[in-house]
Structure 1
Amino acid sequence: MQNLILASSSPRRKELLETLRLSFAISSSEVDESFNPNLSPEEVVMELAERKAQAIFKENPDAFVIGSDTVVVADNRILGKPADEAEAFSMLKTLSGKQHDVFTGVSIMSPKSSTRFYEKTEVWFWELTDEEIRAYVKSGEPLDKAGAYGIQQLGSMLVKKIHGDYFAVVGLPVAKTVRELKRLGYELPY
């Protein structure tokens, strides 16, 4: 039996992997999430995903390990997780009525090989009033999410439309991840 490990404590990534009916363990470690500001968003998410996967793979060299990272990019600025409610409000104000990009990077390490890739999805927000933003921030949902929103929960009310992979916005591009696992030799149960 092949061992599959999700190198993430994200409940959203766990739920996405569970929809595939794969047997996997969860193991995450604290990694340095700082990055070189000269890197492109694509490079940032792939580098951070690789750091997460590598930290777990070192302890589990016989496993398939999936690491992932997501950032929101608006006005050529990377928006990570907000530090507090004021920063969440500011981020959402920036996204209001505009298009932004969500980049999710994935790194998969296995005993024989490894790969990394990213998905970019364009997201458009409705024009939001300050009251709508404050109410959403008060829900607490934005505080642990890149760009201060979760498309799969209350944040879905903010989104006008998307172009690209919905699941990448949630935190893991499912179809591409499965294809890459298979390419690296992981045997799917179906």
Structure 2
Amino acid sequence: MANELMNIPSIILASKSPRRQELMKLMNINFRVVLKDVDESYPEGLTPTEIALHIAEKKCYAFDEMVDNEAVITADTIVSIGNQILGKPESPEHAVAMLQTLSGQKHQVITGVCILYKGQYNLFYDVSDVLFRTLSDDEIRFYVEKYQPMDKAGSYGIQEWIGLTGIVRIDGSYTNVVGLPTEKLYQALIKLG
């Protein structure tokens, strides 16, 4: 396991996201999943980057008294177009509306990550620019009905049908768009060890 390379014996991934869990497995990192309910609200006036970092750090605070020699990894992904933040959709109709907003446009995907290790909080983020081609309403409705993207910021998963058929270009990290900037995470874990 890569844990030995990083000199960190035990890692907690505090995320129910199957995509983040799969990325950690692909990185050959041994971890266990521990979940805590955290209020993901944030103060008004924050930039999208500040929002992602604020929520990731808030998720880590929930583990402050619980861990000693384990590293806790939390993350939050935000989709931003202009000044508009697109979180997780509240309904299928809301998902359709979000994808109509993204259709034919460039947007940013920002993932904030927080690592708690030995009482220290290490925060970092990554930003990727994503361009969708113009999507038809039929394509958008097909995707929402078939893939149910209700747990995804911006109402889409890049690794799913809509990403494979609708994304023209990505500038930045692909894994960041999936939900965890793996290269930056690996480097941060090495520095901690």
With the length of structure 1 as denominator, give the TM-score of the two structures: 0.93
Q: Provide the C-alpha distance between the structure 1 equivalents of 2:62 and 2:162, rounded to a whole number of angstroms.
A: 31
Q: Does 1:164 align with 2:172?
A: yes
1:180 matched residue in structure 2: 188
Q: What one-letter code is carried by the residue in structure 2 that aligns with 1:137? A: V
**Structure 2 gaps, min length 5:** 1-7
1:32 matched residue in structure 2: 39
Q: What one-letter code is carried by the residue in structure 2 that aligns with 1:14? A: Q
Q: Provide the C-alpha distance between the structure 1 equivalents of 2:37 and 2:72, rounded to a whole number of angstroms.
A: 16
SS at match of 2:49: helix
SS at match of 1:78: strand
Q: What one-letter code is carried by the residue in structure 1 that aligns with 2:95? A: A
Q: What one-letter code is carried by the residue in structure 1 that aligns with 2:182? A: V
- Give the 4+ runs in structure 1 shifted more than 6 A: none
* Aligned-CA RMSD value: 1.2
Pairing of 1:91-170 with structure 2 (within 5 A): 91-111=98-118, 113-156=120-163, 157-170=165-178
SS at match of 2:76: strand
Contact 1:49–1:69 (CA under 8 A) maintained in structure 2 = yes
Pairing of 1:12-91 with structure 2 (within 5 A): 12-91=19-98
SS at match of 1:46: helix
1:122-161 deviation line (CA, Å, top 9, x unaligned)? 0000101111111111113321100000001122122111
SS at match of 1:59: coil
SS at match of 1:56: coil
What percent identity do the matched residue pairs reach? 42
1:188 matched residue in structure 2: none
Shift in Å at residue 59 of structure 1?
1.4
1:20-45 deviation line (CA, Å, top 9, x unaligned)? 11111101111011111200111110
1:63-119 deviation line (CA, Å, top 9, x unaligned)? 101000001001311100000011001000000001000000000110153210110
With the length of structure 2 as denominator, give the TM-score of the two structures: 0.92
**Structure 1 gaps, min length 5:** 186-190
